[in-house]
Amino acid sequence: MQKVGIIIKRGEQKAVDLVGEVVRWLQKNKKEVIIGKKLAGLINFPHGFPEEKVPVFADLLIVLGGDGTLLKAARIIGDRNVPLLGVNLGNLGFLTEITKDEIFPVLSEIFEGKFHIDRRMKLSSHIIRNDKPAEEHSVLNDIVISKGGVARLFELETYIDGSYLTTFRADGLILSTPTGSTGYTLAAAGPIVHPGLNSIVITPICPHILTGRSIIVPADSTIRVALKPDDGEEDIILTMDGQVSVPLRPADEVVVNKSRASVCLIRPSRRDYFQVLRTKLKWKEVND
């Protein structure tokens, strides 16, 4: 890993301050630094690249920010297998699990080969409009179908591999990867799914039925959701990873399946997934 890219949360001054330290440390350790033009200008670094080109040239991508920043980085890298190291400068941070104080010891371990790579599955969503594919998007966390305006129940006719599942009458529907199960899905009372499992979690948002619960299906399933909005309303939105939104029309269908691409997250050799869960969810430790 000779070429190291850096992506930060925009408008976050503490991320900008930390970048300068990271760049100097990398240069001291004879690593080539790859950063975007805007970031280069902020720290007076002489060589900047277009932001979308940073992961093209990098062997490792350091993400300074929160989970939202890492999700953005995962979108930028597309189908490239560039490993991501998330450094948490935000609040919870399931994906950006490294703290600011840990960054240099962890980087030292990485360059010594002491790390693990967690390969996380992604989802692809296709909008079907007038029986033709209209748009395609790829996500690491989740795909959400919901109302864009006033919260109001609507119907989502849902099929799994062509078999009718049910028509959810709810505020919306979340289709999540195991990685995304600790995001919006968790807030909607969905299950926590180990990221090593290949599965898709389907969770209704505030369903108008007591038995409206999440269902976990195999990752190779094809999920089709046909919109049945009340009164022909057209304020339904498809949101990808909480960052990109696309308006849907009443007759649209959304088809979701496992993406061919995946995301590689670097995990320090001394830390496991359950330790991250205990820390982030403030679960009891053995000696508490």
Measured in degrees and rounded to the nearest 5, phi and psi for residue 177 equal: -80, 170
Nearest C-alpha neighbor of 175 from the set 212, 125, 114, 236: 125
Measured from the Cβ of residue 117, the count of other Cβ atoms closer than 10 Å reads 12
For residue 153, what are the CA distances in angstroms to 130, 159, 167, 168, 214?
24, 19, 12, 9, 17
- Which position among 17, 59, 67, 220 bears the catalytic label? 67
Q: Active site includes 67?
A: yes
Whether 157 contacts 170, CB under 8 Å? no
Q: How many angstroms separate the CA atoms of 90 and 75, rounded?
A: 19
For residue 38, what are the CA distances in angstroms to 31, 64, 77, 125, 173?
21, 15, 18, 31, 37
Q: How many angstroms separate the CA atoms of 268 and 98, rounded?
A: 9
Nearest C-alpha neighbor of 7 from the set 49, 98, 30, 27: 49
β pairing state of 154-160 and 223-228 = antiparallel
Whether 165 contacts 175, CB under 8 Å? no
Q: Which residues pair with 236 in a beta bridge?
A: 147, 248
What residues are annotated to the active site?
Answer: 67
